[in-house]
């Protein structure tokens, strides 16, 4: 192992940091995808879409979903079609704009997402098990600092 092998002492700290973060993220992500596939027959983008909707009872418009999921619109249509076909989400009309829909979880979708989220949480908690609460908080803050700076440079607007 290790993709991280790429980062060597001759490289600046930032590069070693990035390679470690990338490797770790891929490792955890791979496990999450496996869990979603094996336990629920679903995929990470589908889970992501449902997660976006979970705390928005009124749903989200397609372009909002697209922006939040960081993928282009056509893909959101495809995933939404799948989930709608399984009765997990539904499209509802937006009054005042007949072009747009809002997508929201159905009761069945909400129930299934609750189960998935519970398993997912167990998996993630285990992954970060080695950190003390204080360390976890520090990590969270440092990542937040990087992300905020990054957004400022590349994605001016935010919610």
Chain residues binding DNA by CB under 7 A are: 30, 33, 43-46, 61-64, 69-81, 91, 94, 96-102
Stretch of 23-31, 35-43, 77-85, 87-95 contacting a copy of itself, by CB under 8 A: 23-31
Q: What does 68 bind: DNA, a copy of itself, none (CB cut-off 5 to 8 Å by kind)?
A: a copy of itself
Q: 67: which residues sit within 8 A by CB, 6+ positions away? A: none
* Phi, psi angles (nearest 5°) of residue 31: -70, -40
Q: How far apart are CA 47 and CA 33, in angstroms?
A: 10
How many CB atoms lie under 10 A from the CB of residue 46? 20
Query: What gap in Å lies between CA 122 and CA 65, rounded to an integer?
Result: 26
90 binds, among a copy of itself, DNA, none (CB under 5 to 8 A by kind): none
- Minimum distance between the CB of residue 125 and a copy of itself, rounded to whole angstroms? 4
Token pair recorded at residue 29: 């992500």
With CB under 8 A as the contact rule, the residue among 39, 63, 77, 135 that binds a copy of itself is 135
Q: How far apart, in Å, are the Cα atoms of 42 and each of 75, 100, 112?
A: 16, 27, 11
Q: Which of 39, 63, 77, 138 binds a copy of itself (CB under 8 A)?
A: 138
Specify the DSSP element, H or E, that contains 122: helix 107-127
Residues that bind a copy of itself (CB under 8 A): 1-3, 5-6, 8, 11-18, 20-31, 48, 51-52, 54-55, 67-70, 120-121, 124-131, 133, 135-140, 142-151, 153-155, 157-159
């Amino acid at each position: 192992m290790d993709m991280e092998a790429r980062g060597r002492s001759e490289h600046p700290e930032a590069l070693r940091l990035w390679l470690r973060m990338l490797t770790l993220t891929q490792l955890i992500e791979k496990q999450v995808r496996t869990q979603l596939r094996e336990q629920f027959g679903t995929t990470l983008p589908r889970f992501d879409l449902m997660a976006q909707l979970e705390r928005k009872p009124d749903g989200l418009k397609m372009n909002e979903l697209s922006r939040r999921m960081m993928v282009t619109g056509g893909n959101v249509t495809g995933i939404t079609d799948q989930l709608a076909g399984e009765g997990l989400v539904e499209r509802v009309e937006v009054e005042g704009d007949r072009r747009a829909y809002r997508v929201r979880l159905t009761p069945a979708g909400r129930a299934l997402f609750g189960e998935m989220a519970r398993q997912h949480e167990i998996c993630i908690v285990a992954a970060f098990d080695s950190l003390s609460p204080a360390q976890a908080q520090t990590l969270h803050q440092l990542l937040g600092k990087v992300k905020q700076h990054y957004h400022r440079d590349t994605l001016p607007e935010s919610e």
